Amino acid sequence: MNQWPVLFVTLKDVNGRDFPDAYGMLVQIISNLCKEHSYLKISYQLNWWLLSQDF
pLDDT in tens, the chain (55 residues): 566 667 788 888 788 899 999 999 999 988 998 899 888 777 776 666 666 777 6
Element (H, E) at 55: none
Task: Provide the residue type at 16 as one letter.
Answer: G
Pinpoint the alpha helices (H) of the chain. Answer: 19-36, 44-52
pLDDT at 31: 92
SS3 of 37, please? Answer: coil
Report yes or no on whether pTM surpasses 0.75.
no
pLDDT at 1: 59
Q: Cα–Cα distances in Å, from 46 out to 9, 15, 24?
A: 20, 33, 29
pLDDT at 49: 64
Spatial separation of the C-alpha atoms in residues 5 and 45, rounded to whole Å: 10
